[in-house]
Structure 1
Amino acid sequence: MRQTWRWFGPVDHVSTDDMLQAGVEGVVSALHHVPTGAVWSPAEIAKRQGEIARRRDGTPSGLAWEVVESLPVSEDIKRQTGDWRGQIAAWQQSLRHLAAAGIDVVCYNFMPVLDWTRTDLACRVAHGGTCMRFDLVDFAAFDLFLLRRPGAASDYSEALQAVATARFAGMSEAARTALARSVTFGLPGAAETVGLGDLRDHLAAYGRISPERLRRHLIDFLAEVVPVAEDLGIRLCCHPDDPPFPLLGLPRVMSTEPDLAAMLAAVDRPANGVTLCAGSLGARPDNDLPGMMERLGARVHFLHLRNVTRESPDIRGSFHEAEHLGGDTDMVALVAAVIREERRREASGRRDASIPMRPDHGQDIVDDLGRGGQPGYPLVGRLKGLAELRGVMAATSRYL
């Protein structure tokens, strides 16, 4: 596995110097300041490459931008509204510019409106650090009483509504504001943050779009962009839903192994792949991560290795982001499945035998607690996670 690190550009509180000391081999980044739907220009791509290639003092870092995360897919493309065909053309042009710059792995997602959802961005855990958490009761309280989504009550049992009502009644105004901010935070580093009014408008625009229709739109999108990517030598990898179950009445089409397999079969070309995110998929108890890697591994182009602890056995339930080796996903078994896939690729002569991975998210510990970095992307917490994963990789590679 090629060890990479997500970086949000010059605004990131983690520097290239820090990444070098962490021992990473490559960098995962994106042009978050470019509006969704616009073409990523060669100049902007080169600028980001230059920022990654330099240390603080201007000397070469030896690092390169190796994976794009994410090249955003607009809501118009997902809904097939407005100038969605023109925006697909812009997405294709961005791929051409990235390929010309030597970048050949592009991660994206097809989640409507919000790219991930949590109710607490800094939940205190037993050791004194913090983690991101999704609390179903808090989310129901947000949906029912802050967002006031029409028809929301039908998505929750009477018992859950009663608990959410009591929970909301006991919240201070500051707590309610913090909950709304957490739920609407969206993708870290994104150019826009969704407010409650914007969120209501987006939900209304998806009112008649079923999961089946959204899946057709995803396949239509892939039918246009995958051939271009394949001609350019780019591997596309769709990120799963986070969390992997329906929220806010929105359709979900990348939550389970059958979802991922259907997407791969619909456009059955090597360039069409997935990002196997252990944290996103692991929030659902019926997702077998090591098994998914064994069965879908030939089309896994990017790995997010993180862990979650599920707080209930339900498909839709509360969870929090755990230490990398401490959650409900058997990370040792998953890493072993990845190594077996890499060996199969090497034996068959694939040029992408080494799959890029990154230590996804992490708990805020030690100096992270005062650093004020991106939620979910601490320096020390990710460094600890990478060290743990590196140990598993070394031991498993030797004895497998």
Structure 2
Amino acid sequence: MKQTWRWFGPPDVAKVDDIVQAGAEGVVTALHHIPNGVAWPFEEVTLRQRQVGLRADGSPSGLAWDVVESLPVSEEIKKQKGEWREHIASYKASLENIARAGIEVVCYNFMPVLDWTRTALRHRVPNGGTAMRFDINDFAVFDIHILARAGASEDFSEMVRLEAARRFEKLSDAERERLARSVTMGLPGSTESLSIADVRSHLEEYDHISSDRLREHFVDFLSEVVPVAERLGLRLCCHPDDPPFPLLGLPRVMSTEADYTYLMAKVNSPANGITLCSGSLGARPDNDLPGMMKRLGDRVHFIHLRNVKRDGSDIAGSFVEAEHLAGDTDMVALIATIIAEERRRKAAGRSDHQIPMRPDHGQDILDDLTRNSQPGYPTIGRLKGLAELRGVITALEHQQFGLEGSERR
């Protein structure tokens, strides 16, 4: 795997020099300042490349922009409303400029309204650090009592409804506002965020869009952009829903292995691929991460390695962002299947045999607690995660004691 690091550009509290010192081999970034639906100018793409390539003192960093994350798909495209056709044209233009700059991998998602959802951005964990958390009871507080969505109560069990009512009564106005901000926070690094009124407006427009309809819209989008990506030598890779179960009565179409299998078959091209996020998919107990990598690995173009600890076995349940080797996903087993896929690709002569990976999310520890970084993206917490993952990779690739050594023995 090529070990990369997500960077949110010059405003990021983690600087290029920090990425170099972390030992990352490449950078994952995007043009977060450009609104959704607007084409990325070639000059802006190359400017970001130059920023990645320089340390603070002007010397070369030795790093390159390896993966675009994310090139957002607008709500207009997902709903097929308004200027959605113009937005697809802008998406294609962005792909042209990304490819012209020599970048080959583009990550995106197709989640309606909320790109990812947490109820607490800095939840205190036992070691004194903080981590992002999704609590189904707190989400019910937001959905039923703050957003006051029609029919929301029907989407939760009686136990959750009762607990949500109890919690809502105890929350101060400031705590209710903080919960709402946590739930409606925009795409990481984006300048776009949603108000309660925005969420209600979007939900009204999704009233008549079922999962099947959204899936059709997704296929329509892929049918337009995948041929362009294939012509340009790009690899598109869709990030799973986060969390991977329905929220706010909205459809979800990228939550399970069956979802990915369907989309890969409907638009069958090597340019139509997968971002395997072990944290997003791992929040759902019926997702088998090592098995998914074995069965779908041929189309995995980008990997997010992170872990979550689930509170229980419910499909739609609570979880917290765990240390990278301490959650419910067997990270060693997953990495072993990734290494096996890379070896298979190399033997087949594929130029993309080395799959870019980044340590995703992390707990805020030590100096992270005072740096006010992008939620989920602390410098030290991710560095700790990368070190742990690097240790597993090194052990599994060891010539004597790793996978190859065990085969010889």
TM range (shorter): over 0.9
Which amino acid in the other structure matches residue 13 of structure 2? H
In structure 2, distance between residues paired with 1:53 and 1:329: 34
Structure 2: gaps of 5 or more residues? 404-409
Q: Which moved more, 1:34-43 or 1:156-165?
A: 156-165
Which amino acid in the other structure matches residue 80 of structure 1? Q
Partner of 1:54: 54
Partner of 1:342: 342
Partner of 1:268: 268
- 1:97 has 2:97 as partner: yes
- 1:149 has 2:152 as partner: no
Partner of 2:406: none
Which amino acid in the other structure matches residue 105 of structure 1? V
Which amino acid in the other structure matches residue 213 of structure 1? R
Q: Normalising by structure 1, report the TM-score.
A: 0.99
Q: Normalising by structure 2, report the TM-score.
A: 0.97
Partner of 2:300: 300
In structure 1, distance between residues paired with 2:94 and 2:29: 14
Alignment partner of 2:397: what SS?
helix
1:157-212 deviation digits (Å, cap 9, x = unpaired):
22221110001111122211110110011211112111111111011111110000
In structure 2, distance between residues paired with 1:117 and 1:375: 12
Which amino acid in the other structure matches residue 274 of structure 2? V
Partner of 2:84: 84
Partner of 2:42: 42
Alignment partner of 2:384: what SS?
helix
In structure 1, distance between residues paired with 2:237 and 2:141: 34
Which amino acid in the other structure matches residue 375 of structure 1? P
Alignment partner of 1:366: what SS?
coil
In structure 1, distance between residues paired with 2:195 and 2:83: 24
1:4-63 deviation digits (Å, cap 9, x = unpaired):
000000110000000000000000000010010000001111111111111111111111
Partner of 1:393: 393
- 1:311 has 2:311 as partner: yes
Partner of 1:21: 21
1:66-89 deviation digits (Å, cap 9, x = unpaired):
100000000110011112111111
In structure 2, distance between residues paired with 1:276 and 1:92: 23
1:238-287 deviation digits (Å, cap 9, x = unpaired):
00000000000000000000001111111111110010000000000000
The aligned runs of 1:115-154 (5 Å cut-off) are 115-154=115-154
Which amino acid in the other structure matches residue 150 of structure 1? A
Seq. identity, %:
65
Partner of 1:30: 30
In structure 1, distance between residues paired with 2:186 and 2:340: 34
In structure 1, distance between residues paired with 2:227 and 2:129: 46
Q: Which moved more, 1:385-394 or 1:53-62?
A: 53-62
Q: By how many angstroms is 1:154 displaced?
A: 1.2
Alignment partner of 1:66: what SS?
strand
Q: Which runs of 4+ in 1 moved over 3 A?
A: none
Partner of 1:221: 221
Partner of 1:376: 376
Which amino acid in the other structure matches residue 293 of structure 1? M
1:324-382 deviation digits (Å, cap 9, x = unpaired):
00000000000000000000000000000000000000000000000000000000000
1:214-244 deviation digits (Å, cap 9, x = unpaired):
0011111101101100010000000000000
